């Protein structure tokens, strides 16, 4: 009986393994229909792990944090809400928007990797350029959307009627996030080597 349970565990675990025959060749045995849900599942899991901390920090940034003590107090309040009122926390606007940004970015990055493997693109420089470009477009668009919503909410809170996000602000969001993606994927590895 124990051996049978162990075999079932192994079979279940294998369902979630990627069929990568050689990690450095980008040759997968699985077809795209089998691999795509796994890629999306990985994007969901990674987003769910990252988003709580980022949304706690975002909540604290928009509050009055004149001192480090006030920042830490606000972070403690937000962390307690996450632990003791998870439904309220997980359905809050900051968490949902932040989760959407990360999920969208990770899903696009993972699915672009899948497409590169499907079309058997082997050149690492070309792969990196295509994957970073796709992820950057998703990330910049989603972050600009999220930040515009946060800016509108802040404007409404201060009494502005029918606030809108100027095009130049959206352009600055794009420049900021483009510089971040470029630094992360190109400058940092170059500096390391």
Q: What's the mean pLDDT when you consider all of the chain?
A: 81
Instruction: Assess whether pLDDT exceeds 70 at residue 127.
Output: yes
What was the pLDDT predicted at 89? 94
The model's pLDDT over 68-123, given as tens digits with 9 standing for 90+, comes to 788 888 889 889 999 999 999 999 999 999 999 999 999 999 999 899 988 888 88
Give residues with Cβ within 8 angstroms of 75, minimum separation 6.
56, 57, 60
What was the pLDDT predicted at 192? 77
Instruction: Assess whether pLDDT exceeds 80 at residue 61.
Output: no
What was the pLDDT predicted at 12? 45
Residue with tokens 């124990």: 2
- Of all residues in the chain, the percent with pLDDT exceeding 90 is 30
What was the pLDDT predicted at 14? 47
Instruction: Assess whether pLDDT exceeds 70 at residue 8.
Output: no
Q: Does pTM top 0.95 for this prediction?
A: no
What was the pLDDT predicted at 96? 96
Q: How confident is the model at residue 25 (pLDDT cuts 50, 70, 90)?
A: low
What was the pLDDT predicted at 6? 55
Instruction: Report the chain's C-alpha Rg in angstroms.
Output: 21
């Amino acid at each position: 009986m124990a051996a049978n349970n162990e075999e079932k565990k192994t079979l279940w675990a294998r369902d979630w393994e990627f069929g990568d025959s050689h990690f450095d060749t980008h040759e997968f045995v699985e077809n795209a229909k089998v691999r795509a849900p796994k890629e999306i599942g990985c994007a969901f899991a990674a987003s769910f792990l990252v988003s709580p901390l980022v949304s706690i920090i975002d909540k604290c940034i928009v509050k009055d944090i004149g001192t480090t003590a006030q920042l830490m107090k606000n972070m403690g309040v937000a962390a307690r809400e996450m632990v003791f009122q998870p439904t309220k926390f997980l359905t809050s606007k900051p968490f949902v928007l932040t989760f959407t940004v990360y999920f969208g970015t990770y899903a696009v990055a993972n699915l672009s990797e899948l497409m590169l493997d499907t079309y058997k693109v082997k050149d690492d420089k070309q792969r990196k350029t295509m994957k970073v470009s796709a992820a950057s477009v998703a990330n910049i668009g989603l972050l600009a959307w999220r930040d515009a919503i946060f800016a509108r909410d802040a404007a409404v809170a201060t009494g502005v009627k029918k606030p809108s996000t100027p095009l130049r602000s959206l352009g600055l969001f794009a420049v900021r996030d483009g510089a971040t993606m470029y630094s992360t994927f190109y400058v940092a590895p170059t500096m390391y080597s």
